[in-house]
Amino acid sequence: MIATFAPVARRLAPHALVLAILLFIAAFSFLQPAFLKPENLIGILRQVSLIGIMAVCMTFVIMTGGVDLSVGPVLAISGLAAFFTLEAGWPLPIGIAAGIAVGVAVGLANGFLIAAFGLPPIIVTLAMLSIVRGTALIAGGPDLHAIRGHDSYTFIGAGSLWGIPMPIFLFGAVAAAVIFLQFATPLGVRVAAIGDNERAARLSGHRVWATKLVIYALSSAGAAFAGIIQTTQVHTAAATYGEFGTELDVIAAVVLGGTSLSGGHGSAARTVLGVLFLGVINSGMNILNVPIDSQLIAKGVLIAAALAAAERAKH
Amino acid sequence: MRAWLGNAALVGFFLATLALFGLLAPNFATASNFEDLMSGFSFVAILAMGQAFPILLKGIDLSIGATLALAGMIAFDLSLIAHWPGYFILPVVLAAATLAGIVNGLLIVYLRLQPFIATLASLAAYRGLVYLISGRQLVPSLSTTPISDSWILGLDTDFDVGSALGISAFVKLPWVPLSFFVMLLLLAALWALLDRTKFGRDVYAVGGNAEAARLAGIPVGRRVIACYGVCGFCAGVAALTLIARLTTATEALGVGTELTAIAAAVIGGVSLSGGVGGVFGPAIGAFLLGAVLLGLTLLGISQYVQQILTGAILLIAVGSDRALAVRRRNRLAANLAPPAPAGGHG
């Protein structure tokens, strides 16, 4: 019995996350049939799309053994930048470009400090969290800025196509782009090489610093894009968006997808699964009216259990 | 010896900062401002000293903010709902906080989770636990009732050191809050633990090279668990001094303090690459951050600019730490390199 079970388990291990997602969907829909309604499933995807975009874009950073704690404030400041540009009468593409550009600038600063001086990513991005939040608050103050009269802008986050909200398409597009970057461009190879053995990558002639600049810029650009979508969803921009804890949710989604914080292993496609896993859990507990305290505890326990199981499977 | 020099440089920088603000900011060099500094940042110093232990092991503890809230809420419940006397509450709260830290250590050692992930998960779980046991929600009428236990509130006593020393006639000294003395006591105890015991030497060995430490016969797992326990204990002490000052506990107590504590520890010269640092530096680091924030406030500089400057200070601290590490490594390499043959290059 056990002898026949072991090979099956080994065969299934790589798909454990998919199985877990299906298992939870089955359990939630058994307990509450409304869970399987199309509106609810679309709702789950819409809710995870912002975290998802940030998580997919941060995957490369975590694959190299780094981390980006500054995504929350970047989300806020990029929304503000887009808002101010549009308010000043510039056309929509310029507004979006301004928001993304601010994000990319922060990411380049992160990457530069980390790559050029060899500073620890957790501290650099922690300092940047503080710096960017302060800058956003100086620029935008503590108030909400209402966005009015930009119909095509609000369509980005609040519109829908064929009954499916736009953020889902955008999440899909970003995920597809990053997966393409990982599997069809040299960047994916370089990231894996740095994560595996940074010294070896450098000695074999890779320009490690250039790759780091690119991946931290990508992580921040993802946060900037999420920030723009959020401002269009809620029709306001504010310096306080992306509150403390956003970055931890994003990191949790990436590591649940199997990307290791010690670098080397990881895949953007599996990050999408990690995002969906968290989304299903959150939505299921909401629909079952689980109180917020038990939700937090369950989330913590599930993250620890999932990663411990993954660690066990490796040995 | 070298660690001692690093601390001396840090103290020098701290004193220079105090002198600078004393000259620039009105009301900075006053007794009441130093009272604010001591009562407002002693708990940050306590958290930073605790955080030094996981960082010394090349780890990190993101859960101390949640542990602090958990400890505070346990004290709130025991005092206002269970009506326990304070002399029971204090040890129970400290034990609970230590246990929270030990659980982190167990997750890291036995489930082989990375410290960042383990404490990220326990951050969520402990914060959820705080909401679950929140006396403010279990008994809504208590949410406006202050804690009145004399043992807990006794932690918020201030001492007129100037009068006690008989020099208040000559110079106006600040009243020193008990939390500052608690911090000093903890500093002395943790310093002795790190510097004068086998446990302390083990911690540095594990932080420097865990595999080598294991081969040398050091029980690495037990040391790791103990270090996270110390970190939890410090969060418990910090929680007690904090709720004594606030006379209540809230669910959101300590949100984000883990990042401040990590920043103070790094400013205090504890290296994230493990095995380098102590507890004196983090304490100074916390008060340095505090002095800068209070000084900037007195100069009328907006809170938003202060956030930017806090980030900049952190970058400078970690940058100089990195420069020191590179120099140390180069010197080591130079010492280990075979003597250059005559007529060689250079």
Across the interface, whether the CB atoms of B111 and A244 are under 8 A apart is answered no
Cα distance between the two ends of chain B: 32
Residue owning tokens 């020098």: B12
Range from A250-264, B193-207, B216-230 carrying the lowest mean pLDDT = A250-264
**pLDDT tier at B345, thresholds 50, 70, 90:** very low
Chain A residues inside the 8 Å CB shell of B118: 304
Kindly tell me if the per-residue pLDDT of A315 is higher than 70: no
Looking at residue A227, its amino acid is G
How far apart, in whole angstroms, are the C-alpha atoms of residue B86 and residue A116? Answer: 53
Across the interface, whether the CB atoms of B322 and A118 are under 8 A apart is answered yes
Task: Give the tens place of pLDDT for each residue, A244-271.
Answer: 778 778 888 888 887 877 766 788 888 8
Interface of A with B in 81-120 (CB under 8 A): 113, 117-120
**pLDDT tier at A9, thresholds 50, 70, 90:** low
- Between A223 and A202, the higher pLDDT residue: A223
Closest-CA residue to A244 (of B62, B108, B98, B289): B62
Residue owning tokens 């932690």: B155
Task: Give the tens place of pLDDT for each residue, A94-143.
Answer: 888 998 999 999 999 999 989 888 888 888 888 888 889 888 888 877 77
Closest by Cβ to A134, choosing from B122, B127, B308: B308
How far apart, in whole angstroms, are the C-alpha atoms of residue A114 and residue A198? Answer: 13
Distances (CA, A) of B28 to B79, B158, B240: 38, 20, 28
Q: Is A284 among the domain residues?
A: yes
User: Nearest-CA distance from A160 to chain B in Å?
Assistant: 33
Closest by Cβ to A252, choosing from B120, B302, B312: B120
User: Nearest-CA distance from B123 to chain A in Å?
Assistant: 7
Predicted confidence at residue A8, as pLDDT, reads 64
Kindly tell me if the per-residue pLDDT of B245 is higher than 90: no
Structural domain harbouring A246: 47-314
Predicted confidence at residue B301, as pLDDT, reads 82
Closest by Cβ to B305, choosing from A138, A248, A304: A138
A117 burial (CB, 10 Å; 0-12 / 13-18 / 19+) is middle
Give the DSSP H or E segment for A236: strand A236-237
Closest-CA residue to A95 (of A156, A173, A52, A176): A156
Q: Is A146 among the domain residues?
A: yes
CATH code, domain with A163:
1.10.3470
Kindly tell me if the per-residue pLDDT of B255 is higher than 50: yes
Q: Is A180 among the domain residues?
A: yes
User: Nearest-CA distance from B128 to chain A in Å?
Assistant: 4
Closest A-chain CA to B111: A308
Predicted confidence at residue B44, as pLDDT, reads 92
Interface of B with A in 297-326 (CB under 8 A): 302-312, 314-315, 318-319, 322, 326
Closest A-chain CA to B104: A304
Predicted confidence at residue B36, as pLDDT, reads 84
Task: Give the tens place of pLDDT for each residue, B153-197.
Answer: 777 777 777 677 766 666 667 778 888 889 999 999 999 999 899
Q: Are B324 and B6 in contact (CB under 8 A)?
A: yes
Q: Is B262 on the interface with A (CB under 8 A)?
A: yes
Task: Give the tens place of pLDDT for each residue, B86-134.
Answer: 888 899 999 999 999 999 999 999 988 888 888 988 988 999 899 888 8
Q: What mean pLDDT do residues A294-302 have?
A: 82
Q: Is A22 on the interface with B (CB under 8 A)?
A: no
Q: Is A219 among the domain residues?
A: yes
Average pLDDT, rounded, for chain B: 85
Closest B-chain CA to A311: B112
Closest-CA residue to B52 (of B218, B310, B234, B292): B234
Q: Is A42 among the domain residues?
A: no
Q: What mean pLDDT do residues B283-292 have?
A: 91
Across the interface, whether the CB atoms of B120 and A67 are under 8 A apart is answered no
Kindly tell me if the per-residue pLDDT of A3 is higher than 60: no
Kindly tell me if the per-residue pLDDT of B339 is higher than 70: no
Task: Give the tens place of pLDDT for each residue, B169-181.
Answer: 666 677 788 888 8
**pLDDT tier at A237, thresholds 50, 70, 90:** confident
Predicted confidence at residue B73, as pLDDT, reads 93
- A164's torsion region: left (phi>0), alpha (psi -120 to 50) or beta? beta
For B2-325, the fitting CATH number among 2.60.40, 1.10.3470, 3.30.390, 1.10.405 is 1.10.3470
Chain A residues inside the 8 Å CB shell of B112: 308, 311-312
- Between B293 and B143, the higher pLDDT residue: B293
Domain boundaries along the sequence of chain B: 2-325
How far apart, in whole angstroms, are the C-alpha atoms of residue A150 and residue A235? Answer: 10
How far apart, in whole angstroms, are the C-alpha atoms of residue A86 and residue A151? Answer: 12
Q: Is A29 among the domain residues?
A: no
Predicted confidence at residue B188, as pLDDT, reads 94
Q: What mean pLDDT do residues B230-244 have?
A: 93
**pLDDT tier at A18, thresholds 50, 70, 90:** confident
Q: Is A181 among the domain residues?
A: yes
Q: Is B270 on the interface with A (CB under 8 A)?
A: no
Kindly tell me if the per-residue pLDDT of B54 is higher than 60: yes
Distances (CA, A) of A255 to A61, A202, A250, B56, B125: 12, 25, 9, 24, 17
Chain A residues inside the 8 Å CB shell of B123: 248, 300
- A143's torsion region: left (phi>0), alpha (psi -120 to 50) or beta? beta
Q: What percent of chain A has pLDDT over 70?
A: 92
Q: What percent of chain B has pLDDT over 90?
A: 34
**pLDDT tier at B344, thresholds 50, 70, 90:** very low
Across the interface, whether the CB atoms of B121 and A248 are under 8 A apart is answered no
DSSP letters, A120-159, are: -HHHHHHHHHHHHHHHHHHHHTTS-EE--S-HHHHHHHH-
Interface of A with B in 177-236 (CB under 8 A): none
Across the interface, whether the CB atoms of B311 and A128 are under 8 A apart is answered yes
**pLDDT tier at A2, thresholds 50, 70, 90:** low
Q: Domain tally for chain A? A: 1
Q: Could you tell me the two tokens for A238?
A: 């504010």
Please work out, in degrees rounded to the nearest 5, the angle formed at the alpha carbon of residue A272 by the alpha carbons of A114 and A191.
35
Angle between helices A38-63 and A208-234 (to 10 degrees): 150
The DSSP bridge partners found for residue A257 are none
Predicted confidence at residue B274, as pLDDT, reads 82
Predicted confidence at residue B39, as pLDDT, reads 85
**pLDDT tier at B325, thresholds 50, 70, 90:** confident
Kindly tell me if the per-residue pLDDT of A306 is higher than 80: no
Q: Is A7 among the domain residues?
A: no
Q: Give ipTM to 2 decimals.
A: 0.78
Q: What percent of chain B has pLDDT over 70?
A: 93
Across the interface, whether the CB atoms of B308 and A301 are under 8 A apart is answered no
Across the interface, whether the CB atoms of B124 and A303 are under 8 A apart is answered yes
Across the interface, whether the CB atoms of A296 and B312 are under 8 A apart is answered no
Q: Is B113 on the interface with A (CB under 8 A)?
A: yes
Q: Please give the biggest Cα pair distance in chain A.
A: 71
Interface of B with A in 56-95 (CB under 8 A): 60, 62
Q: Is A126 on the interface with B (CB under 8 A)?
A: yes
- Between A148 and A75, the higher pLDDT residue: A75
Q: Is A127 on the interface with B (CB under 8 A)?
A: yes
How many A-B residue pairs are in contact by the CB < 8 A criterion? 144
Chain A residues inside the 8 Å CB shell of B116: 67, 122, 261
